[in-house]
Structure 1
Amino acid sequence: MSCGGCTDQREVSLQTSVSEQTAKHPCYSQEAHTRYARMHLPVAPHCNISCNYCNRKFNCVNESRPGVTSEVLTPADARRKFAMVKEKVEQLSVVGIAGPGDALANWPETRESIERIKAAAPDIVFCLSTNGLMLPDFAQEIVDLGIHHVTVTVNCLDTEIGARIYKFVHYRGQKLTGVEAAATLLKNQLEGIGFLVKHGVLVKINIVMMKGINDRHIPEVVQKMKELGVFVTNIMPLIPAPGSVFEHMPQTSMKEVSDMRSACEQYLPQMRHCRQCRADAIGLLGQDRSHEFRLAPPAYEQPAARPVLKEYKIAVTTKYGRMVDQHFGHAEEFLIYQGNKNKFTLIETRKADQYCQGMENCTNREKLRDATLNVIQDCDAVLTMRIGYQAQKRLLKKGIMSIEFCDSVYNGLHYTVEQLSMLKSNVI
């Protein structure tokens, strides 16, 4: 039978441990950010939601914003890089995983990276950042791993506002959009945050302040987070990322952000020293040294046998063969590619009847659409500029994934394989 006094002692011991760790965490402690350094491990490239303010761009050493990194690491690389940084950065106290995608959308890699480093340096403070979609699935594992600091980005409580912020959400094999996507994300965020707080994890909430979208709604978000027992909120300005849906939106000024933080301070403490760090940031806040620690291939390791990569067959709609620039319903032929993430081969061209020919020719539309679907029924996915909802549903019933994309065929094929791989591993 358990002893109530022993339980109380364990809880006090845990609270003391978390308090000591927090005092060394530059993001959670105002006093710590000039004394202690952190390193972000970019081991999580995939993301399971699409935010309209985000454009995750790799290999950009001159850009500093969330979602940007110059390399993506394996867990083994992460352990090796940690040893390198630990040797040269005396103030290193925190290891965080903040992307460049979502830590929980890449949970096996995130967990293994933490386990490897924890085995070598048990005193290091670990934290991770997430959009919260998969929190109900992994919150218990987070607690069991001894991660005491988790940041969740919660931009709204109103699903109508969320529908304007999130382009889509991939959840349990489904692509959700609009209010349904926002509602699913919000439900999981609130459930996961509540669980973490109940189990002694300090939760920080990031809120991206977007003028004319969620700015007036932010105090309501902060009040709700207070009810859940959140530790601190971090209101950040929108950075209009080139290539994102919101790239032409006005950037929220720091005065506007500061005023909002002051208004919300009556509910929860506000983080005022955030630098909106890169996914591979290293060093003190505001003094990024990530460029000093690029990994070179280890000369002392024997090259591992390359795993056999799954081959996919992908149908592409394109006018001239170079760009994904044609609507699915307008296609009179499909280019069929086969390959994996490293190499693709154009294996054939298949003719199809264009089923979308305007309102005056709707009589045979269903029959033509079914005939078109049969042309590509052996494919894993169709890569197209646009596709209608009914066609998407019919393809999905045949086990064919629809990918909307507007770029080069080459980039589109790589993106499609990434989405297929995530789907097959139950990440999305």
Structure 2
Amino acid sequence: MSQQPFTISLDSLMTPIDFEAMKTAATSGGCSTSSCGSSAKPDDLDEATWDKIKDHPCYSEEAHHYFARMHVAVAPACNIQCNYCNRKYDCANESRPGVVSEKLTPDEARRKVITVANTVPQFSVLGIAGPGDACYDWKKSQATFAAIAREIPDVKLCISTNGLALPDRVDELANMNVDHVTITINMVDPEIGAKIYPWIYFNKKRYTGVEAATILHQRQMLGLEMLVARGILVKVNSVMIPGVNDEHLIEVNRWVKERGAFLHNVMPLISDPAHGTHFGLTGQRGPTAMELKALQDKLEGGAKLMRHCRQCRADAVGLLGDDRGQEFTLDQLPEAVVYDPSKRAAYREIVAEERGDHVRAKEKAIAAVKENAGDGHSILVAVATKGGGRINEHFGHAREFQVYEASTKGVAFVGHRRIDAYCMDGFGEDATLDATIAALEGVTHVLCAKVGDCPKDMLTAAGIEATDAYAYEYAETAISALYAATASDAGQTKAVA
């Protein structure tokens, strides 16, 4: 196994950082920060596109280990109704699009963004994702972006929209240097769309049924084409609704690829009756983790997939999977704020070193897995991590697992499984562990920094091997070693048979 990461590591990404110590650790050996930064660029991306996505946690799976996003809830008005959405429900511990604890004015958003930028050095992207539609509630979105661009000019600006009002805003978005836009597209067939959208409000008139879905579809395609023509990267979000649009999303993927979408993110329907949504109240179920993975696997070869989405709240702050929004409520913000760029600059300098090392380790691990893949077997491995791409979280403290697949194709991140933490105040909860085991459907191994004997035995009884033998390794490095061991076991089993 490789050595543990440098003393001031990315293991504590969201805690105060000793930047001088970090600099000393990063410059004590290895490649320079400039060469490491460029070494992470995939071969299939041009430099201009790489520069846009390299620090964007939603557009780059690799970047999401290191960089944080922030959503400001300045756009509450919406021009469509979705059967999976109810913006009136809020739970501070819930991660779901459209959910916010506080709505902000543009000036309140400015204070909040600067406070976060001074506190969270991983912050790289500011997004407006509602809680309504950012392109429909445009004046507030525009004013917020203008204020932040003046004070933090290097932050990336990102907007999410249902697409209905998007064509009217493309020119302004381009002029404001917004180079990332997410459009939620759940259908390209209005007959299916009518099952998802009860109504839309367009040109001062309410439309329903197939007519509403037809208008929405046409506007979404037009907006997508206009953005791509201006060089703006587009991520398409689609909600997978079993029995409604699950198989149809294959067609959606084809359409958005043909029109130049950069990423396609297929998300599971969240359908809890407590949320008060139409689908929740009528019993429409969401997909299982394995059903979602099966659909995503079918889409491979089409538009490039995003698999690391956390279906963030409209007021999310921090790394994906580690929302710190409740630390930055209005009552906790200072009245007067001045942006200090030093912490963010120091963090980026150190991360360049770690990312370069991670990329090289990942490439080596993938090559090793392909070399050991002669028998064609595959394994799903769940990793407990705080960030940095390393196995650095205690099993009992984990609130999600990142899931990787090792196969003849190498090692690939395929999704995440959200759970409740097993340990509360030092004690484990068997009921929580039962739910965790259910959430780990299809997973054969769990890798964590530490795991107790009791949960380890219960996982073993469920056919899941949990181990802390690879603590603080890069996930891909550990999975490569694990795959080699399982390949050897598989070969011995065949030989005995």
Report if TM-score (shorter chain) is over 0.5.
Answer: yes
Tell me the residue number matched to 2:277: 244
The alignment-based identity, stated in percent, is 48
3-state SS in 1 of match to 2:292: helix
Shift of 1:19: 2.5
**Displacement after TM superposition at 1:17 (Å):** 4.8
- Tell me what 2:364 maps to: none
- Check whether the contact 1:18–1:148 (CA below 8 A) recurs between aligned residues: no
8 Å CA contact 2:194, 2:209 repeated in 1: yes
The question of whether the paired residues in 1 share the 8 Å contact of 2:73 and 2:104 is answered with yes
Q: Give the Cα–Cα distance (whole angstroms) in 1 for the partners of residues 264 and 229 of structure 2.
A: 18
Question: Could you say if the C-alpha distance between residues 289 and 257 of structure 1 is closer, same or farther in structure 2, counting changes exceeding 3 Å?
Answer: same
d(CA) in 2 for partners of 1:157, 1:46: 25
Equivalent residue number for residue 38 of structure 1: 69
Please state how far the C-alpha of 1:295 moved relative to its aligned partner.
Answer: 1.1
Partner of 1:212: 243
* Structure exhibiting the larger radius of gyration computed from Cα positions: 1
Deviation at 1:62, TM superposition (A): 2.4
Q: Deviations over 1:54-82 (max 9, x none)?
A: 11125531221000000000000111001
Give 1:87's aligned amino acid: N
CA distance in 1, matches of 2:104, 2:284: 33
Q: Tell whether 2:167 aligns with 1:136.
A: yes
Q: CA deviation at 1:300?
A: 5.5
Q: Distance in 2 between matches of 1:296 and 1:20?
A: 36
What corresponds to 2:311 in structure 1? 276
Matching residue's letter, 2:203: R
Which of 231, 238, 262 is residue 297 of structure 2 equivalent to?
262
* Contact 2:239 2:268 (8 Å CA) reproduced: yes
Q: Secondary structure at the match of 1:215?
A: coil
- Among 196, 206, 209, which residue is 1:175 paired with? 206
Is residue 2:177 matched to residue 1:146? yes
- What runs of 5+ residues in structure 1 fail to find an aligned partner? 1-14, 302-428
Q: Return the TM-score normalized by structure 1.
A: 0.65
- In the aligned structure 2, how far is the partner of 1:85 from the partner of 1:151? 23
1:296 CA drift (Å): 2.2
Matched position secondary structure for 1:246: helix
What does residue 7 of structure 1 align with? Answer: none
Match of 1:82 in 2: 113
Structure 1 residues 25 and 256: CA distance shift in structure 2, 3 A? same
Q: Equivalent residue of 2:254, what SS? A: helix
Partner of 1:353: none
Letter of the 2:54 partner, please give it: A
Structure 1 Cα separation of the partners of residues 68 and 334 of structure 2: 29
Alignment of 1:158-173 (within 5 A): 158-173=189-204
Task: Name the CA shift for 1:293/1:267 in 2 (closer, same or farther; >3 Å).
Answer: same
User: What CA distance in whole angstroms lies between the structure 2 residues aligned with 1:207 and 1:297?
Assistant: 35
Among candidates 28, 32, 35, match of residue 59 of structure 2: 28
Q: In the alignment, which residue of structure 1 is the partner of 2:418? A: none
Q: How does 1:289-328 map to 2 (within 5 A)?
A: 289-296=324-331
| Preserved CA contact (<8 Å) 1:155 1:214 | yes
The two structures, once aligned, show a CA RMSD in angstroms of 1.5
The secondary structure found in structure 2 opposite 1:122 is coil
Post-superposition offset of 1:273: 0.6
Q: Which has the higher contact order (CA 8 A, sep 6+)?
A: 2
> How far does residue 139 in structure 1 lie from its aligned partner after superposition?
1.0
Counterparts of 1:300 and 1:122, CA distance in 2: 22
2:216 is aligned to: 185
Assess if the C-alpha contact under 8 Å between 2:99 and 2:313 holds in 1: yes
